[in-house]
Structure 1
C-alpha cells in the first residue's frame, strides 16, 4: 500500500460488494416481523432445532451477468459458497438443491456441469430443484441443508477474544473481479479436509464463532460479523494471510473461495493456527474484538476507523 490508510478506506467503501450488502437493509426492515424471536439476525444459515442437534439451511442467489458470462464457474460456486455457509455455522452438509432458469440448453448444461463437478469434489449430493429452460435470461439460486450439534453463532462473540483469519492462499485470480479460485484445481480430498475442520474445531470448543468471507470481501464481512454481535474490532492489516503476488487492497475486496473470520480465545490460537496449517490453509491472529462498535484498521504506524456501526449500519441485521 503506497498511500494513506484513510485513502484506502475511502476506496474500500466504494467497492461494489459493500453496496450489495447495504441492499439487505431494505429486506431486513420488511421481514423483521416474520422472524422468530429465537432466531438471531445475521448468521450465515437458519438454525433449526432438531432433537439433540440442529438442521442448518442456507441459500445463495447469483448476479445474472455472472451466470450468463461464466456458467460453469457459477454452477461450481453455487455449491461451494453454500458449503462455506454451513461450515461457518459449525455444520456438515447433507444435500443441495437448485433453481435454474435459462434460455438455451447448451448454456444451462455448462451451469449444471459446474454444479456436478463441485458435488463430486465435495461429495455432497444435488438431490433436486426447479428448472425452467424457457426463460428470457440465465438465473441461478442454490440452497443447502446441513446439520450440527455444536453451532457457531455470530452473537456469541465476546470482547477480548482474538480475531483470526483462515484463508486458502493456494489459488489464482478468476477474472473478472476479485474472485480468488482456490478450489476448482485443488485436490478434492484437501477441499473436504479443510471444510470439515470448522465443525471439528467447533465441537472441540476451540473456536467460538466464524463467518465466511463473502463477496463483501474481508473488510465488509468483518463489519457484518460485528453488526451481528454488537461489537467492534481492531484489525491489523499487515497480519492478514495474503498471497505474495497479491495487492492488499485487492485482497481486502476478494472472495477467496475458502476464507473465514474466527473468534478464538487467546489460549487456543496456536492450536487453531496449527490445525489449519496442517490442511494447507494460511491462518493468523489479525486483531481482537472490542466493546465499542467500530472497526478500526491498523497499518504500519497508521490507525483509522473503517466503519462506525453506531452511526451507520451495513446490512441492518443485528442482535440489538
Structure 2
C-alpha cells in the first residue's frame, strides 16, 4: 500500500534532491578514476552545473510512495541524472543541435573541445550503468537487473536515441537531392510519438525506477506510467513554448532555434494557444493518474504543475 508520510514543500524537496544528487555524482566521478584532470573536469562541468534535477526527483518521490527512504533511492536517481547529462552533452554538439550555452554557461564542447565532450558524454553514460550495477542501497540483484534493463530501454534505440534520430529526420537532415534539409510536415500523432521517445522515455523510467524500488503492484506501476507519460508530454510542450516565448537569459540556453531548424513540435502544429490548452489537459491527466495514492502523491502532482509553468 502507498505510504502517507509527511513530505516537504516542492521547492525544498527539489533543492534537497539537487544537493544530494550533485554530491553523489561528484563522488562517483572521483571513484570512476578518469586519467588526468581534463576528462573528470569535463564530466563535472556537464553534471554539476545546476539544473532542475527533475528526473532524479521523480525517482525519489515515486519510491517514497511505497515507503522507500530517499537515501535508498538516491543511487538510481543519480544514475538517471548521469545518463541524462550525457545526452545533453551529445545533443549540444555541432553535429546535433550545435548549442553554445547550457544551464547558463558554455556547453562542454565550448568549454573544452569536441573530442573531450564526446568522451565525457561516453564516460557519463557508462558511469550510469556502473552506479546501477553496483547496487547502492538496494542489494537485491533482481531489482538491480530490472533497473539496468529499464534504463537501457529508455535510453536506447526504442527510447531516447531512437527519438533523437526521428527528430533529426524530421528536420530533413537525411533528405536527398534538391530538397536537402527541407523539414518534414509531420502530423501531430507522429510528433507525439517522437517526443515520447526522445523526452518522455527517461521520465517514464524515473517513475518506473521508483516503482521497482518500492516493489509496487502491477496496478500501481500502471498508474505511475500514466502519470509519467502525461508529464513527459507536458515537459516537452513547455520546453517548446520556452523556445518560442522565453528569454535566453532566463532559459539558460539559446531560444528561437526550433523554428529555424525546422524541428517538429506541437507548438508549431497547434499554435501557442492550442499548445497551452493541451498542456493544461496533460497536467489534469497526470493528477488523475495519481488519484489512488491519495495525499502521498501531493508532491508528484505539484511537480506536474511545476513542469508546465517553468520559465527556465
**TM-score (normalizing by structure 2):** 0.30
Larger strand proportion of the pair: 1
**TM-score (normalizing by structure 1):** 0.29
Using CA pairs below 8 Å that are at least 6 residues apart, which structure has the higher relative contact order? 1
